[in-house]
Amino acid sequence: MVSAAFYGLIAMSVGVYMAATSDYLFKAAHGHLNLLGWVTMSIFGIVYFVLPDLASTKLAKLHFYCAHIAVLFLSGGMAIFVLFGSTNVAKVGAVFAISSMLLFLFGLIKYGSDNTSLPHASVIDSKLPISE
Ligand code: HEM
């Protein structure tokens, strides 16, 4: 979650820069850093919080690094494309992004059902009346 918030902060700062200067060169990089960095990484973080058995697997650790490489190479690669015209870095980022989603899906299918009871049910119940 901390890295998701960090990506969101950087992406929004680029958004403020674009809005302030009307220079929209980096809008694709901004959009993808927000959606892949802030939103998607937040979703991964919340799912791993709710499913700690899944989060403790080697697969989840591999997914963690794969997802970060995807965010940096895809959104960074889009900035490199508008500056230098090369799509190579963004292409590497795209491969890591789709691999990251495949690893996540595989982890959910293989380990997701292990968490028969929500680990933080007592915490969640005290805050959200789920059982009602
Ligand atoms: C401080 C907050 C933000 C500011 C100031 C900002 C500013 C901008 C600006 C100026 C553009 C270009 C608009 C145009 O094409 O005319 C843009 C595009 C975009 N923004 Fe933001 N934005 C912010 C937050 C976000 C967030 C939180 C998300 C998603 C979670 C987001 C997703 C996008 C997307 C998907 C685009 C379109 C990119 C494209 O056309 O390739 N933005 N934003």
114 CA → ligand 1 middle, Å: 38
Q: What is the mean pLDDT of residues 22-46?
A: 97
49 CA → ligand 1 middle, Å: 28
User: How crowded is residue 73: how many other Cβ atoms within 10 Å of its Cβ?
Assistant: 21
Using CA of residue 110, residue 66, residue 8, residue 77, what is the dihedral sign?
negative
Give whole-number Cα distances, 114 to 46, 48, 63, 72, 129, in Å: 17, 13, 18, 32, 24
31 CA → ligand 1 middle, Å: 5
The pLDDT, as a whole number, for residue 29 is: 97
Residue 108 lies in a domain: yes
Residue 128 lies in a domain: no
Residue 32 lies in a domain: yes
Residue 131 lies in a domain: no
Residue 125 lies in a domain: no
Mutate to test the pocket of ligand 1, among 27, 43, 82 (most ligand atoms within 8 A of CB): 27
In the chain, the number of structural domains is 1
SS (HEC) of 43-78: HHHHHHHHCHHHHCCHHHHHHHHHHHHHHHHHHHHH
Residue 80 lies in a domain: yes
Residue 87 lies in a domain: yes
Show Cβ contacts of residue 69 under 8 Å, excluding neighbours closer than 6 positions: 93, 96
Q: Which residue has the higher pLDDT, 120 or 25?
A: 25
Residue 123 lies in a domain: no
Contact 48, 55 (CB under 8 A): yes
The pLDDT, as a whole number, for residue 122 is: 55
- Which tokens is 102 given? 């495949």
Q: What is the pLDDT of residues 78-130, one digit of tens each?
A: 999 999 999 999 999 999 999 999 999 999 998 776 555 455 555 555 555 54
